[in-house]
Amino acid sequence: MALTLYHAQMSFFSQRARLAFAEKNVKYKSVEVEIHAEEQLEPWYVRIHPLMTVPGLAVEGGTKFIDSEAIIGFVDKITPDLPPLFPDEKSAEGQKCSQFLLLFKTFEIEVISLGTIANPRYTKGFKNFASAAQLEKALTAIINKARRYSEKYKDLRYEYLNKATALSQRLEQLKDEQMLRDHLDAVESALTEVEAELAKASNEHRDVPLDEQPWLCGPHFTVADIYLATLLHRLFFIGYSYFWVDGKRPYIEKYYQRVLQRESFRKTCLHANSLFWGMLAPLIRYKVRRATPWVLGVSAVLAAGVGVYMFVRKK
């Protein structure tokens, strides 16, 4: 069964999906969607993912998934012989997993990530790569492009108009500093619950080496760990590691260090938030990909010209 994952390196939800694939050792065709060049607005992708977000998964036969949690669930379903990412809800592990999934949905990572760019004073050590004005300008440009495309591609008119409306609402949210503060409070509250659970498990297994201790919900690395691992990694990148470092939440600090050593995480997420590997490198690949037909055409013309010159010269 052929699987094609449409994703972006720096996309938080793409990181979740890639980590799930790596945990289950499921092969897929990787198609990078360059969100920093607004490739997600191109008609070819809108026909795959009407919401114009990443990730998206296309399954041979026509089935499509446009939500990271649904993608993780699908990956889990097709690998029944491996430890489940979604444990049986009747088990203690499954009940904890469901509890933490609900907890991690009490805040929106987009509000925190973009809101932090607009209000960087809440972070420590975050090197802001854009100002609030630049962020607003970029989002406004995407909104305007979606509106133009709604006129250009009539069969996708409503998808583009819905996207423009959603982004306009997001833009207004980013101007609401109180919303960011509320989301950060929700994150801290969630991390307090996580710390308590990790502390409890650690005390119950104090004689077990760290690399053999339980994960968040039990002995296996579950979808709750995927959510927590990617959350901590994003928070670290945007300057909120002070939520757990320096003894504030020591069990989370140990957990995060353990995650950073996990092979699946290192393979799919470790450098995904960096400006070079997460933004510049994919953008360069996109530019090269777009230029390839032109480059090949010019190269062919030059080669032909050189050939003619050499032929004439020999004569």
Residue whose structure tokens are 């119950």: 204
Q: What is the pLDDT of residues 236-246, one digit of tens each?
A: 999 999 999 99
Q: Which of 51, 60, 67, 53 is nearest to 28 (CA)?
A: 60
Q: What is the pLDDT of residues 141-184, one digit of tens each?
A: 999 999 999 999 999 999 999 999 999 999 999 889 999 999 99
For the chain, list the domains and their CATH numbers. Answer: 3-273 (3.40.30.10)
Rounded to whole angstroms, how far apart are CA atoms 220 and 85?
A: 8
Q: Is the pLDDT of residue 311 over 70?
A: no
Q: Are the CB atoms for 230 and 12 separated by under 8 Å?
A: yes
Q: What is the pLDDT of residues 6-39, one digit of tens each?
A: 999 999 999 999 999 999 999 999 999 999 999 9
Read off the amino acid at residue 28.
Y
DSSP bridge pairs for 7: 32
Rounded to whole angstroms, how far apart are CA atoms 260 and 252?
A: 12
